[in-house]
Amino acid sequence: MREDSDKRWQENRLLASLPDRDLSRLLLQLEILTLFAKEPVYESGEEIYFIYFPLDCIVVLISSVDTDATVEVGLIGNEGMVGATILMGAKNSTSKALILTEGKALRVPAAVLKKEAKRSSRMREVLLNYTNALLAQSAQLAACHRYHTPKARLARLLLMINDRITVSDFRITHDLLADLLGTRRATVTQAVNQLQDKELIASVRGRIRFLDRKGLENETCTCYAIISQQYLTSTHSEASPANS
C-alpha cells in the first residue's frame, strides 16, 4: 500500500469489517487512487482485472436495455466494493460501472482478492454477504423502476447518494439522472422541480444540494428502506469471530 492509504482503508466499511489477519494481508496489496466523475471503471462485458473499494467516491452500475435506454442497477460507496461478482465466478462485468462522484478508492488485482478469499472462509463469508446484498439491491431497483413514480425513484436515489457522501452537495446533470432512472430528461426535470418546490433539495448549475433529508425520506418509495435493511442484515451476519 502506498501514500496515505495505510490509514484511509478504515473509511471503507467492508474492509473495516474483515478479520484483522485477513485485512493485514490484503492491505499490503492495496493501492490508493483517485477516481474521476463520469469515467468508467469497467465497460459492460469488460474483463475485471481490479477490484475497487471506494473511500469517498460513488460508483453506479448501469445496464443498457438497448442502444439508447439505460438504467441504474446498483450504487456502491464506502459500504462496499466494485467487481464483487468475481467472487461468484464471473470474469467479466455484466454492467457498466461509472464513477458518479469523484474521490479516492483502494484497488487490488482481482486475482489477489480471489486468492485471499479462497484462503480465509471468514473473509469469503463477509465479502459474499456484501455481494448478496448488492444483488438484492439490483433486484429491488428493477422492481422500483417498474412500479414507482419518477419523483419517488429520484428521492430514493438521492437518499442512497446522501448515505455515501460526507458533503452536502454533488455534481450531476439531469441527463445522467435520466440515464440512471431510466426515464426521459423532461420527466427528471419535473421530478427535480417537485422536490425543489418542497425545499428538500436545491438544483443549481449542475449540482444538487441536500436541504431536508427527513423530507426526502417522506417522498421516497419503500425501496429505500428495503435496500438499506439488506445491507444491515448483510453486516449483522458478521458477528462470528471464527477465522480460518
Would you tell me which residues interact with Zn ion (CB under 5 A)?
A: 144, 148, 221, 223
Residues in Cβ contact with 228 at an 8 Å cutoff, skipping those fewer than 6 apart: 163
Give 50 or 224: the residue with its C-beta nearer to Zn ion. Answer: 224
Q: Rounded to whole angstroms, how far apart are CA atoms 130 and 137? A: 10
Is the separation of the CB atoms in 82 and 48 below 8 Å?
no
Q: Which CB, 57 or 181, lies closer to Zn ion?
A: 181
Instruction: For the CB of residue 139, give the shortest distance to Zn ion in the complex, in Å.
Output: 12
Say if CB 192 and CB 174 are below 8 A apart.
yes
The Cα–Cα gap between 171 and 161 comes to 11
Cβ at position 154, least distance to Zn ion in Å: 10
- The CA distance from 56 to 87, in Å, is 23
Q: How far is the CB of 125 from Zn ion (least distance, A)?
A: 29
**Cβ-contact 23, 85 below 8 angstroms:** no
Q: For the CB of residue 143, give the shortest distance to Zn ion in the complex, in Å.
A: 7
Q: Which is nearer to Zn ion, 51 or 144 (CB)?
A: 144
CA Rg, the chain, in Å?
A: 18
Q: Select 97 or 154, whichever has its Cβ closest to Zn ion.
A: 154
Nearer CB in complex with Zn ion: 133/223: 223
Q: Nearest distance from residue 90's CB to Zn ion, in Å? A: 26
Of the chain, the end-to-end C-alpha distance in Å amounts to 24
Tell me the closest approach of the beta carbon of residue 145 to Zn ion, in angstroms. Answer: 8
Give the Cα separation of 95 and 147 in Å (integer): 22
CA distance 35 to 58: 9
Closest approach, Cβ 74 to Zn ion, in A, equals 14
- Separation between Cα atoms, residue 87 and residue 75, nearest integer Å: 18
| Of 57 and 144, CB closest to Zn ion | 144
Beta strands in 55-149 (DSSP E): 58-64, 70-76, 96-101, 103-109
Closer Cβ to Zn ion, 18 or 73, answer by number: 73
